[in-house]
Structure 1
Amino acid sequence: MNTFEHFKIKKQLGNAIADLGFTTPTPIQEESFSTIMGGFDFVGIAQTGTGKTIAYLLPILQDLAFSEQANPRVVILAPTRELVIQIVEQIEKLTPYISVRTLGVYGGTNNIKGQKIAVAEGIDIIVGTPRRLYDLVISNVLRLKSVKKLVIDEVDIMLDFGYKTQLKNIFEHLPTKRQNILFSATMTTYVDELIDTFLINPVKKTISLSGTPLENISQVKYAVPNFYTKVNLLNHLLADKEEYNKVLIFVGTKINADRLFETLDFDSDMSVIHSSKEQNHRTNSIEKFETGTSRILIATDVIARGIDIDKISHVISFDAPFYAENYMHRIGRTGRAEQLGKAILLYTEKEEPLKDEIETLMKYTIPAMEWPEEVAINGQLTPEEKEKPEIQEEINHKKSEIDRGASFQEKSAKNSKEKKERKSYERIIKERYKKPIRRGDKIQNMKKKKRK
């Protein structure tokens, strides 16, 4: 069995790995280290929780020499603020004995001035979401002429979020001669297109297919008639605090996330995050869940891809995900680092086709659980259940809102008039650089799928 010593990494980096208690590299870490060190373009496909972040950070940090130059030599792009923060934290854990200047940049805050100051002071590695990083580039504060390595993490989600235009714009400012490193949990046609367009004879390594169920995660499913009966079942299950000691609950929409948070019986034990929550709220919610202040975290798929928290006892899919691959991302949040985990899928009759797609993808039939006699069936329906349900978070934005342009939020007549008289900086930038107003290509596929 190989150890990190076989990588022959420098002593300072080896000491940091020892401090973290890591001894044996994961398969994706073994496959990627020598290839990335050799300077080849690399594409790594591996499931969530298999150590992808360390897989690209180790060879990058091993190859990164001390420098006082102002411009960054490494750019790491991630789809969410949460993932940016966690990548920066991982770099800091690996570099206590190495002088590396790292900065994380992302939107959703009023701190772009502070980020500009930090960039101007000089950095070695910049980690950011595409939109904020590109805003820094076009403001002439961030210059990418010295970049030697470009990493795109969770590239499949990056493209689903509609970041294709931003990526192309960023590529135009990067040196042609550079190393490209892509990591993803799934391989889609959009990822293939990006690889064919921008990478040169990349080395591709697929460690495990996204449809392969993780062996150390036990799965069960419950057939449930509606939202409020799902709530009754969760109240029954989660009452066992010893068994359900750290629970991540996935919901399909922001509306359902807030509704579930308001109706479950565990107020002081819960946190909730989704894309409409302020960044401070999202950060605090994750910190509370990570430290154990709250044992239940309710989240949507859009946000949860950036969550990397140890010792999650259960992942509960309150709503079946619209895309079967997302179920694998969900359950991959438990059973990490070879620990045992448990996953529970709740599905209604309308969600049964989605459940079937999940089982087809995994080539595995999730064991069905008998309904607990003490759990009452609630006949109350949500407004969405009375009508055609919207299963995925991204389609919460109604067509009329999308057609308006850059903003997806409802505006009063007064505010609308003010916007016409004076456009925001964000709106001007979007119009000038043709940033996409839609949330991703998958939304279009979703609409096509519904019309069939």
Structure 2
Amino acid sequence: MTWSDKTKLNKQLLRSVAELGFAAPKEIQQRTMSRIAGGQDVIAIGPEGCGKTTAYVLSVLNKFNYAPDGVPLVLILVPNQEAVEAVLQQFDLINKNKSISIVGLYATGGMQDQLDALADGADIVVATPDRARAIYLKLGLNLNKIELLILDDADQIVKQGLQLPTIELANSITKAQRLVFTEVMHDKLERMIEPFMNMPALVEVEEVGHGVLNIHPQVLYQVPNFGTKLNLLNLFMQDEELFTKTVVFVNTRQTAEKIYKDMQSAAKNTVALYNPWGHSWQGFESVADFHADEASRMLIVANENEDNIETGDIPFLLHFDLPGDKDTFIARMLINPTATEEETLSITFATDIELGQVRKIEHATGQKFPVVELPDDLVIVRDKKTKPEEKPTAPKANEPGPAFHEKKASNVKNYNYSSGEKAKMNKKKKHG
């Protein structure tokens, strides 16, 4: 497919993509741009690098087939200053119509310069939600003529806790087309965007990397919060026959101490810290020492330890937290091709806001992580700010459900094994 087939770009933009060497539109561009041109609301889900930003930048520029009048027609919300600058750079790369005024708004620096830039005229505004809201409340951002509202990296907007200003801005725009671009869709993001989306088309691209890395078998448990993670870990460790040796990775010493104290109260003298930072903590300075100690079943490793530890033939490697750098995760999971150790199973706990990092790891490794149903006997900790969940009622025939789309067959969870049963199915043997 060529750019001129279905993307409906004007001649100037067709020349731009040709000059930039964009030979053909990527899948997400093929599937979104004609819908955007037709005025439909769109939710586009795809991994980093799949072409989401280019899709909407081209679509936005395609709207300006006339001399703009300096009043904002497009508002693009992104999670942080770095994202604002990246989007502005993409516009600068593609845009040949220099009469279009594009203004960036972000919280760093003084507000007055940004107010002055808006007063001089802005056709497209790229902003963080908090700064856009602050300037709007000062009557410096005119939303009366906005025709297109775009949320880019929407999952990161949620991760940054910017739902409230995003919702307020969306509700202040009376009538506009809405586009949402995200790496992953989850419950918190759905709750943020559902009230202001109008029958959106869902476009999902599940690209993974071309090279498949040789990593340990993976399973993923999606949990709502820290407390539920802790309960799930406790539930696993109650199975003394199966979980004989487990290395648990966390991101901070504070989390390591919390898990250590909680697990010690339930299973004394079986939990240890890697390179303990106090005489009162039980621990080991190597995984080999932990493995040799028959009494110890769990070793907690904090990310603050920069050592590249050798996990050897530990049966279970469990990420209680996901590291900020995907390469850290991958380095831990790579299988030594010359090793003869028994099979190791990698288990990951992830909340909604961590699913984006899971997708990055999947893309980098070329593998999807199977999602495992939470055990029936797991106690789910309710968030303090949310009401207890009610059991959903099934929609009537031909009646749409509350979500934007049905889950793909590969994502449907129609099984419910206990944690021990599922781990045994993956291990196919026990570890002494």
TM-score where L is the length of structure 2: 0.54
Q: Which residue of 2 aligns with 1:55?
A: 55
Q: Which residue of 2 aligns with 1:9?
A: 9
Q: Which residue of 2 aligns with 1:337?
A: none
Larger radius of gyration: 2
- Aligned pair 1:214/2:212, yes or no? no
What do residues 382-428 of structure 1 show as CA deviations (whole Å, max 9, x unaligned)? xxxxxxxxxxxxxxxxxxxxxxxxxxxxxxxxxxxxxxxxxxxxxxx
For 2:130, give the aligned amino acid. Answer: R
**Distance in 1, Cα, partners of 2:208 & 2:366:** 11
Higher mean alpha-carbon deviation, 184-193 vs 27-36, is at 184-193
- Aligned pair 1:90/2:90, yes or no? yes
Q: How does 1:36-55 map to 2 (within 5 A)?
A: 36-55=36-55
Q: Which residue of 2 aligns with 1:117?
A: 116
Whether contact under 8 Å (1:152, 1:181) holds in the other structure is: yes
Q: Which residue of 1 aligns with 2:35?
A: 35
Look up the SS of the partner of 2:32 in the other structure: helix
Q: Which residue of 1 aligns with 2:149?
A: 150
Gapped regions of structure 1 (runs ≥ 5): 233-254, 265-298, 305-313, 335-341, 345-357, 364-452
Question: How far does residue 325 in structure 1 lie from its aligned partner after superposition?
Answer: 2.1
For 1:315, give the aligned amino acid. Answer: D
Q: Which residue of 2 aligns with 1:361?
A: 371
Whether contact under 8 Å (1:73, 1:146) holds in the other structure is: yes
- Aligned pair 1:181/2:179, yes or no? yes
Q: 1:219 to 1:143 in 2, by over 3 A?
A: farther
Question: How far does residue 157 in structure 1 lie from its aligned partner after superposition?
Answer: 2.3
Look up the SS of the partner of 2:371 in the other structure: helix
Q: Which residue of 2 aligns with 1:201?
A: 199
- Corresponding residue pairs, total: 269
Whether contact under 8 Å (1:46, 1:185) holds in the other structure is: yes
What do residues 314-337 of structure 1 show as CA deviations (whole Å, max 9, x unaligned)? 933378784462333433785xxx
**Distance in 2, Cα, partners of 1:140 & 1:85:** 24
For 1:330, give the aligned amino acid. Answer: K
Whether contact under 8 Å (1:84, 1:104) holds in the other structure is: yes
Q: Which residue of 2 aligns with 1:71?
A: 71
Q: 1:58 to 1:220 in 2, by over 3 A?
A: same
Q: 1:30 to 1:51 in 2, by over 3 A?
A: same
Q: Which residue of 1 aligns with 2:267?
A: none
Whether contact under 8 Å (1:12, 1:98) holds in the other structure is: no
Whether contact under 8 Å (2:184, 2:356) holds in the other structure is: no
**Distance in 1, Cα, partners of 2:38 & 2:142:** 26
Gapped regions of structure 2 (runs ≥ 5): 218-245, 250-273, 277-285, 287-301, 309-321, 333-347, 374-432
- Aligned pair 1:136/2:146, yes or no? no
What do residues 54-97 of structure 1 show as CA deviations (whole Å, max 9, x unaligned)? 12221221122334423211000011221111111111111035
Whether contact under 8 Å (1:217, 1:343) holds in the other structure is: yes
**Distance in 2, Cα, partners of 1:145 & 1:217:** 49
**Distance in 1, Cα, partners of 2:51 & 2:372:** 21
Whether contact under 8 Å (2:48, 2:183) holds in the other structure is: yes
- Aligned pair 1:331/2:361, yes or no? yes
**Distance in 2, Cα, partners of 1:94 & 1:333:** 27
Look up the SS of the partner of 1:162 in the other structure: coil
Q: How does 1:373-412 map to 2 (within 5 A)?
A: none
Q: 1:12 to 1:141 in 2, by over 3 A?
A: same
Between the two proteins, what is the percent identity of the paired residues?
Answer: 25
**Distance in 2, Cα, partners of 1:39 & 1:321:** 39
Whether contact under 8 Å (2:71, 2:123) holds in the other structure is: yes
**Distance in 1, Cα, partners of 2:187 & 2:61:** 31
Q: 1:190 to 1:12 in 2, by over 3 A?
A: same
**Distance in 2, Cα, partners of 1:219 & 1:181:** 37
Question: How far does residue 195 in structure 1 lie from its aligned partner after superposition?
Answer: 4.0
**Distance in 2, Cα, partners of 1:217 & 1:82:** 30
What do residues 138-165 of structure 1 show as CA deviations (whole Å, max 9, x unaligned)? 1111111111000011222222322221
**Distance in 2, Cα, partners of 1:61 & 1:332:** 33
Whether contact under 8 Å (1:213, 1:328) holds in the other structure is: no
Whose helix proportion is higher, 1 or 2? 1
Question: How far does residue 133 in structure 1 lie from its aligned partner after superposition?
Answer: 0.7
Q: How does 1:435-450 map to 2 (within 5 A)?
A: none
Whether contact under 8 Å (2:184, 2:359) holds in the other structure is: no
Whether contact under 8 Å (2:105, 2:128) holds in the other structure is: yes
What do residues 223-263 of structure 1 show as CA deviations (whole Å, max 9, x unaligned)? 9788779xx9xxxxxxxxxxxxxxxxxxxxxx957x75xx9
Look up the SS of the partner of 2:118 in the other structure: helix
What do residues 98-140 of structure 1 show as CA deviations (whole Å, max 9, x unaligned)? 5321111111x22322111111111111111100111111111
Whether contact under 8 Å (1:49, 1:333) holds in the other structure is: no
For 2:213, give the aligned amino acid. Answer: S
Q: 1:200 to 1:143 in 2, by over 3 A?
A: same
Whether contact under 8 Å (2:68, 2:100) holds in the other structure is: no
For 2:177, give the aligned amino acid. Answer: Q
Q: Which residue of 2 aligns with 1:315?
A: 327
Question: How far does residue 362 in structure 1 lie from its aligned partner after superposition?
Answer: 9.9
**Distance in 1, Cα, partners of 2:17 & 2:59:** 13
Question: How far does residue 179 in structure 1 lie from its aligned partner after superposition?
Answer: 0.4
Whether contact under 8 Å (1:3, 1:24) holds in the other structure is: yes
Q: Which residue of 2 aligns with 1:420?
A: none
TM-score where L is the length of structure 1: 0.52
Q: How does 1:271-310 map to 2 (within 5 A)?
A: 301=324
**Distance in 2, Cα, partners of 1:102 & 1:228:** 52
CA RMSD of aligned residues (A): 3.7
